[in-house]
Amino acid sequence: MTAKIVRVLLVFTTILVLGFYLPDLYRNRFEKRANKSLLYYSEVTRDFVFAEERYDSLRQEVRMFYRDRAGNPLSETEYMRRLPFNNSRKLKMLGQMPDSVMGQPLTQEVLRSVRRMMLIGDKGFEYPLAPLFESQPGHPGVDLPEDLFRIGKRGIEFFHTTDLSIDTAKSRRFNEALTAAGFRAPARDIYGIPSTIKSRDDGYFIVDAAGRLFHLLMVHGQPRVRAIDNRFEIRQIKCHVPGDIYCHIFTPENELYVLRTDYSLCKLPIGPTNGRFMLTSNCYFRSYKNLGSDSSVMYVLDADFGRVDSCALPVASYRTSPQADVEARLFPFRVMTTPGYTHLIPVPNPVAKFWVTNLCCVVLLAGLRLWRRVRIYTPFQLIDLALTAVFGLYGLIAVLLFPNRF
């Protein structure tokens, strides 16, 4: 009896392992790269332009096709002219670079104001240690300090990296500044850019034990702490290199706030999102492209974060491909690992798709058992059939791998 129960446990383990590997094997073999669909906001026409990859059967190659929002086709040159920030080099070579946009000359400085970055609301692991840079070192860039800081129950502690000894004087000085600003230790999270590759340091944004947000800087070796009046829960903060904003703040509901350098908070007027954005900004507009699995929605905001326009574009993804449909018919679920804090998550497919495969597997298993003159009405043979009925191909392979003969 024990051996039979152990066998069922092993069958379950094998089903999990197969759910991890078989769909990936299938995808590696059959997945085709989806044609690109790109969506941009033109600063020239103040409207969206689209670029789509399509298969040109005449030339037997994949080509890019361009169109405006109304669906009118655009030539490649016209498309580039509408997006001077994206295509400045090519436009200059063609001698078609516009002199000005929205009445402002397109100088090198204006062209260099473009920023592109990913904003992701999901948290990954970060060590609760960071180097606190001198924010005004007297020269461009930052110097890597000799110490690191942590904010535990005893408050902020600076320790030397060479021997891990605590710098009590500096720790006390910074602790007093934090306490005076109303900070409650320990820190829940510390956000910042601990990189040395930046023109200036803007310090760290620290969420205290009560969920309040604080800005901590070191100026000429002295602490500078500022409490920020956040009246919402903070899930994640994405800090930026020096500019007109300090950071983007995600709430647990994936609402997005911006913290300006004057410490004012601004909730962005964008719809419900999944917390994954591609941000492109220049001195005119900021476009937040929410990257979904089936569609991208771009929200265009002006320099003061007022909503200008928005547009949704369905994107061709593997999920909508015929190969994905076959996969859903073959496998009842797939086990995947998540990034960041890693989980093993089973992602089920709709029963309506895979029940035929599962039924075939049950019939095949029952046929095999009968052919070998095995009585299929015993409890553990019925369990095998049930496992195959539920887990389809995985179940069939697993029960055949572990012989049910005792």
Partner 1 sequence: MILHLIYKEWLKTRWFALIALVAGVAAVVGILAGVASGVRADAPFFFYQVIVGKVRFFDLFRFVPLLAAVLIGCSQFLPEVTDKRIKLSLHLPMPPTVVIYSMVLYGFVLLTLLVGICLALFAGLGAVWLPGEILVPALKTMLVWVLGGMTAYFWIAMMAFEPVGRYRFGYFVVAGMLVSIFMRRYPIGGVDVLLEIFAGLTLVSSFSVLFTAYRFNKGIL
Residue from 33, 162, 169, 271 in contact with partner 1 (CB under 8 A): 162
> CA-CA distance, 32 to 383, in Å (whole number)?
38
Q: According to the binding rule CB under 8 A, does residue 25 interact with partner 1?
A: no
Residue from 104, 165, 342, 378 in contact with partner 1 (CB under 8 A): 342
Residue from 71, 75, 108, 127 in contact with partner 1 (CB under 8 A): 127
Residue from 44, 74, 117, 129 in contact with partner 1 (CB under 8 A): 129
Burial of 85 (0-12, 13-18, 19+ CB in 10 A): buried
Residue from 94, 118, 344, 364 in contact with partner 1 (CB under 8 A): 344
Read off the amino acid at residue 63.
Answer: R
Residue from 84, 121, 194, 332 in contact with partner 1 (CB under 8 A): 194
> CA-CA distance, 169 to 289, in Å (whole number)?
47
> CA-CA distance, 129 to 75, in Å (whole number)?
52
Residue from 13, 45, 264, 293 in contact with partner 1 (CB under 8 A): 13
Which window, 1-9, 27-35, 224-232, 357-365, contacts partner 1 (CB under 8 A)? 1-9
Of the two residues 344 and 370, which places its CB atom closer to partner 1 in the complex? 344
Q: Name the minimum Å distance from CB 204 to partner 1.
A: 13
Q: According to the binding rule CB under 8 A, does residue 195 interact with partner 1?
A: yes
Q: Name the minimum Å distance from CB 387 to partner 1.
A: 15
Q: Do 207 and 188 contact (CB within 8 A), yes or no?
A: yes
Of the two residues 74 and 129, which places its CB atom closer to partner 1 in the complex? 129
For partner 1, the binding residues (CB under 8 A) are 2-3, 6-7, 9-10, 12-14, 16-18, 20-21, 124-125, 127-131, 144-148, 150, 159-162, 164, 194-196, 337, 339-344, 401-403, 405-406
